[in-house]
Structure 1
Amino acid sequence: MNFYIDPAFYVFLALAVIPAAILGFTGHRIKYYGLAASLAFLLLLFGENAEGMLAFLVFLAVACAATFWVLSSWKRGEKSLWKYRCALVAVIAPLVIYKIGAVFDHNLMGFLGISYITFKAVQVIIEIRDGLIDHMDFADYLYFLVFFTPFTSGPIDRSRRFTEDANRVYSKQEYADLLARGIMLVLIGAVYQKVLGTVFFHYFTPAPAGDGSWWSELGEQVKDAYMYGFYLFFDFAGYSLMAMGASYCFGIKTPRNFRAPFLATDVREFWDRWHMTLSTWLRDFVFMRVVKSATRRKLFKDRLHTACAGYMANFMLMGAWHGLTVDYLVYGAYYGTLMGATDIYQKKSSFHKKHKKKRWYKALQWFITINLVMLGMAIFSGQLHTVIGGLFHG
């Protein structure tokens, strides 16, 4: 059973929310019921896919063992870096093996949700190392990893925020507000994904360059890029809203993932609005660490060059996270380059500094940004690859 796709999922979700609502309205903690419900939903997710279930259970066992091994080392004051590094490798290895296997059309250690659960497990280990987590109950950790509502499509939550919600007892009015908002978010998400996403996907018809005039061909490719961009937004934002809404019903305030991304006036602002939980995760655990390490080792002559290297590492990893294909890797390099170029332009250009608050300049920035974003969508979808292939083989 696919979450947020199969009609049966919504039936099971409605039934599962009833006991959660009873607990919420009567002033009881929902955590242990939520954990049991999550495990039941994951059984439905994997269904008869025994290989996927086995890979998931192996990952879960490795993540739990690695995390509490590192936590034990830090609590004893030993703070063993080799244990920390081994734990990270153990947790990341299944995802790397899966991504490499996918290149050769083999499913090695893969299961639905592996990307998101890996990021969550890595985050906990890093925060133990940073001293931000000095205690973690096993049930809280397990619940954080297996909580079903964002399991397959995000958003990516943070363990400390999640645990605080999971252990909270809401008043009757507080839970009523959460439940009402949750139901509303599920309904809005369904409209986004089932209606608006379907409409835009209908008009997305990618094809190699044909025999028409270059102007008509260009217009067709631009149209497809825009249609795919809007489709991807409504489809993904719809899933995210439904995941948020369902989590609210269980007392978990899963963070927002999108905030009007197509209103951004530069690519940095776009990534502050698009898939926000992924972009902030990468910022905190990749970009900032690359910059800190490069600064400490004096690898670059100034902060701006260091930041550009950080952007490239950050977005190349993001591209690889989506998949080890040419399209995704080029997509990562594209945004790594754009982010660096934007940073350089905004900090070095006197023209930008002089006009950045003027309306006409903001409008121009928006127009340029939306077209750069849609070009990125064309790369991500494989549309650009298809067009170039058609030109060479036409």
Structure 2
Amino acid sequence: MTIGIVLLVLNLVGFKYTSFFNETLRGMFGWFGASYDLPVLNIILPLGISFYTFLMIGYLIDTFRGDKAERDPWVFGGFVFFFPKMIAGPIERGKNLLPQLRKPLTGFDYALMTAGLQLMLWGAFKKVVVADRIAPFVNRVYDNPQAYDGVSMVFATWLYAFQLYFDFSGYTDIALGAAMVFGIKLLPNFNRPYFAVSIQDFWKRWHISLSSWLNDYVYTPFSRSRWTGLKMYNLMLAGMMLTFVVSGFWHGANWTFIVWGALHGTYVVVSLLAQKPWNKFAKNSGLTKRPKTYRAIKIGVTFFLVCFAYIFFRANSMADAGYILSHMHTGWGSATSGIRAVIDGKLAEMGLAILGIIVVMAPEWYKDHAKVGDIYRALPSWQRWGLVYAATVAVVVLGAYYNLDQKFIYFRF
């Protein structure tokens, strides 16, 4: 197991992180007036390398812990290379996918195939109709932050929160739907993350396959270790911080991602340390007697913290992130001018983007009150197919008309 994990990590480091380490060491040596340069091979980064590296590491650890190793090379090859999830997840587990691949084909499941195709269409709608409409407005600000004020930066960051979510969850829906067409059910990856009531809750809803992987293979082993000499509670807090830093580093070879991960780790650690005084404040202020208001406040605060961390996730460099943070206070005397600067006269495109956000988020909000899938299935057949037709037309027409060639964001990870 150890040899396998070391080889997988070295492969990932060689392809993805060599340039990062080279640049970091060069900067450190430069502080002391010395020079340093590590030869770097100009090799194209394989698509999905971070995803299938974690998949393989998880499999090796599971077999070491007692899970039965797969002896059939065809089944194992399907586990690793099953195309819907290979490039951008979900990060599968052997106990979920391998039994399905071993199972002999029992016939054609029309209902599962139809549900899969509809899920693929919904994912394409999120990506092509909504996320790709938002992207130009976000790129305009983040690719040249010096040209915009704080209002523009806040607005662009808010838009980016939805662009990233719809882009990534759209891909996940396409992957899950494609797998369903083949009779395979992959692990879910999202569960209404922007309705989370805390950062801990957010990570139970966002990129679920990654957060559960990190919990099982990073946080839990570290928090149970005794070699650190830390007390149990401090060990737990240190484990959380380590886990989120690993999450940031997994996303990309850039300090912006590491800071993003560390920021989420800080959120969690601070929230745990402040839990008792916060609960006391909520009780004394009467918030606990107004559960709907209290929940809305917690959702709003969580979304704000997530968006703040997105500044680092989206920024092209730490210098850009620093500039954005240092200028967030500007432009609030005339907030509408900052918003107009982001829109740049493209009112129709912005209107379409906002409408798309509402269309996608409305069912997620509605899940608080009823199951949207049940409502959809209860509609008359002509209404269901009308919605399918409308979504198909939107994907085809908008995708062909705008032709923005926006790749899935998580393809680069």
The normalised TM-score by structure 2 is: 0.68
Q: Which residue of 1 aligns with 2:246?
A: 317
CA distance in 2, matches of 1:185, 1:329: 33
Residues 255 and 277 in structure 1, CA contact (< 8 A), matched pair in contact too:
yes
Is the 8 Å Cα contact of residues 331 and 380 (structure 1) preserved in structure 2? yes
**Alignment partner of 1:259: what SS?**
coil
Matched, 1:137 2:72: yes
Please report how far the alpha carbon of residue 389 of structure 1 lies from its aligned counterpart in structure 2 after TM superposition: 4.2
Q: What is the one-letter code of the residue matched to 2:159?
A: M
- 1:351 matches 2:296: no
Aligned partner of 1:89 in structure 2 is 6
Deviation at 1:347, TM superposition (A): 5.0
2:60 counterpart letter in structure 1 = I
Structural mapping, 1:151-230, within 5 Å: 151-169=86-104, 171-172=106-107, 175-204=109-138, 205-207=140-142, 210=146, 217-230=149-162
CA contact (8 A) 1:327 1:385 kept: no
How many Å separate the matches in 1 of 2:251 and 2:214? Answer: 13
Two-structure CA RMSD over aligned residues (Å):
2.5
Does residue 326 of structure 2 align to residue 379 of structure 1?
A: no
The residue correspondences of 1:56-67 to structure 2 (distance < 5 A) are none
Moved more, 378-387 or 114-123: 378-387
In 1, the alpha carbon distance for the partners of 2:83 and 2:209 equals: 17
CA contact (8 A) 1:331 1:379 kept: yes
Residue from 329, 337, 344 that aligns with 2:258: 329
Give the C-alpha shift of residue 172 in structure 1.
4.5
Kept in 2: contact 1:181–1:248 (CA 8 A): yes
Structure 2 segments unaligned to the other structure (5+ residues): 23-39, 328-413
Pick one of 286, 299, 310 that aligns with 2:229.
299
Given the superposition, is the C-alpha separation of residues 131 and 391 from structure 1 closer, same or farther in structure 2, using an over 3 Å criterion? Answer: closer
How many Å separate the matches in 1 of 2:43 and 2:270?
38
CA distance in 1, matches of 2:277, 2:216: 25
CA distance 1:392–1:235, change in 2 (3 Å): closer
Question: 1:390 offset after TM fit, Å?
Answer: 7.3
Q: 1:179 to 1:282 in 2, by over 3 A?
A: same
Alignment partner of 1:388: what SS? helix
CA distance in 2, matches of 1:196, 1:302: 45
Residues in 1 aligned to 2:250 and 2:155: alpha-carbon distance in whole angstroms:
27
Which position in structure 1 is the counterpart of 2:15?
98
CA contact (8 A) 2:189 2:209 kept: yes
Match of 1:225, SS?
helix
Q: Deviations over 1:320-365 (max 9, x none)?
A: 1112211011111111111111222235644267355722222221
8 Å Cα contact 1:209-1:391 kept in structure 2 = no
Post-superposition CA distance 1:355-379 (Å, at most 9, x none): 5572222222111111101111111
1:237 matches 2:169: yes
SS in 2 for 1:256: coil
2:270 pairs with 330, 341, 344, which one?
341
Query: Which of 196, 199, 208 is 1:264 aligned to?
Result: 196
> What is the DSSP-based 3-state SS (H/G/I as helix, E as strand, rest coil) of the residue aligned with 1:197?
helix
Q: Percent identity?
A: 29
Instruction: Tell me if structure 2 keeps the 8 A contact 1:197–1:234.
Output: yes
Contact 1:228 1:378 in 2 (8 A): no
Q: Secondary structure at the match of 2:241?
A: helix
Aligned counterpart in structure 1 of residue 218 of structure 2, from 286, 304, 307: 286
CA pair 385-367 structure 1, distance change in 2 beyond 3 A: farther
Per-residue displacement from partner, 1:97-153 (whole Å, max 9, x unpaired)? 122234368544841121111111101110111112355432221111111111111
Structure 1 residues 227-236 or 202-211, which shifts more?
A: 202-211
**1:87 Cα deviation (Å)?**
1.9
> Quick check: 1:149–1:247 contact (8 Å CA) kept in 2?
yes
> Residues 311 and 321 of structure 2 are in contact (CA less than 8 Å); yes or no, is this contact kept in structure 1?
no
Question: Is the CA contact (8 Å cut-off) linking 1:166 and 1:251 kept in structure 2?
Answer: no
Deviations 1:178-206 (A, max 9, x none): 21111011100100111111122132132
- C-alpha deviation, 1:252, in angstroms: 1.3
**For residues 147 and 8 of structure 2, what CA distance do their matches in structure 1 show?**
50
1 CA distance for matches of 2:325 and 2:230? Answer: 40
Asked if 1 retains the 8 angstrom alpha-carbon contact of 2:90 and 2:172, the reply is yes
**Which residue in the other structure is 1:251 paired with?**
183
Q: Which runs of 5+ in 1 are unaligned?
A: 1-83
Aligned to 1:80: none
Q: What is the distance in 1 between the residues matched to 2:98 and 2:53?
A: 18
Moved more, 108-117 or 363-372: 108-117
Q: Distance in 2 between matches of 1:243 and 1:211?
A: 38
Distance in 2 of aligned mates of 1:280 and 1:343: 19
Distance in structure 1 (CA, Å) of the matches to 2:161 and 2:214? 22
In the alignment, is residue 363 of structure 1 matched against residue 296 of structure 2? Answer: yes
1:300 partner amino acid? L
Does the 8 Å contact 2:195/2:299 carry over to 1? Answer: yes
